[in-house]
Amino acid sequence: MRPLLGIADGKQEKEALTFGIWGVPGVEQRAILIVDDDVIIRETLRAVLESNGYVVETAETAKDAMEKSKARTFNLALLDIKLPDMEGTELLKKMHGIAPRMMKIMITAHATLKNAMDSLNLGADAYLLKPINQKELLKTVEEKLREQYAAESMSEEDVADWIQTRLRKLKVQ
């Protein structure tokens, strides 16, 4: 079965093939990018995710996150809604262009719940509230990666439908 590679973006397909993720044989671990300006959040999230078998990279700024996302493929990114150099919602939009297939989960405090709702409208796949509950984090990450895998395993007809839905979602932005 043809994996759902780079259909929305040919560059992404090339990148994914180069780095051997997205169902390419030989790669089992899933890669996650954590973007948060607070080192304690970055390191605690890293500890939990690494202890559950994920490969983790971190970024302190939006600029760093975009550079890392261009350099390699991540299955999923956890994006803080408030970053020092850019609003998280703005980074979310840019990430859609850089890595359309990557799952994107926004992280926010209660005070910025409205931003979280806005980010869902902008195409985020989910959001988590700080302080983050460990079980909730793992459940959400696993759920989104399962969705991604399901999309990857779709038949050609399903793929066409999925792309139409995704494009409509992105056009709304």
Partner 1 sequence: MNQHFAKVCMTHVAWTIRDGQEIPGWNAQMESSTPSERKENELTQRILKLWERYKPLCLERLSVIEEAHTAASSTALDDELRGKAESAAHKLAGVLGSIGLPEGSNIASEIEALLQPGDTIAPGQLLHLSELVTNLRSQLTRGPAAHDDSSEML
Q: Residue 101: which of 49, 39, 166, 37 has the closest Cα?
A: 166
- Judged by CB under 8 A, the stretch of 9-17, 41-49, 69-77, 161-169 that binds partner 1 is 41-49
Q: Does 152 bind partner 1 (CB under 8 A)?
A: no
Binding window for partner 1 (CB under 8 A); candidates: 11-19, 97-105, 128-136, 160-168: 128-136
Query: Which residue in the block uniquely carries the two structure tokens 């079980």?
Result: 135
Answer yes or no whether residue 114 interacts with partner 1 by CB under 8 A: no
- Residues 111 and 132: their CA atoms lie apart, in Å, by 14
- Minimum CB–partner distance for residue 27 and partner 1 (Å): 22
Phi-psi category of residue 5: left, alpha or beta, with phi > 0 → left and psi -120 to 50 → alpha: beta
- Taking alpha carbons only, the member of 29, 171, 3 closest to residue 96 is 171
Residue with tokens 């150099």: 85
Shortest approach of partner 1 to residue 23 CB, angstroms? 27
**DSSP tag of 126:** E
CB of 25 to partner 1, least distance (A): 27
115, 81 contact by CB (below 8 A):
yes
Binding to partner 1 by residue 41, rule CB under 8 A?
Answer: yes
Q: How far is the CB of 53 from partner 1 (least distance, A)?
A: 10
Which lies closer to partner 1 via its Cβ, residue 48 or residue 145? 48
Residues that bind partner 1 (CB under 8 A): 38-41, 43-45, 47-48, 51, 109-111, 130-135, 137
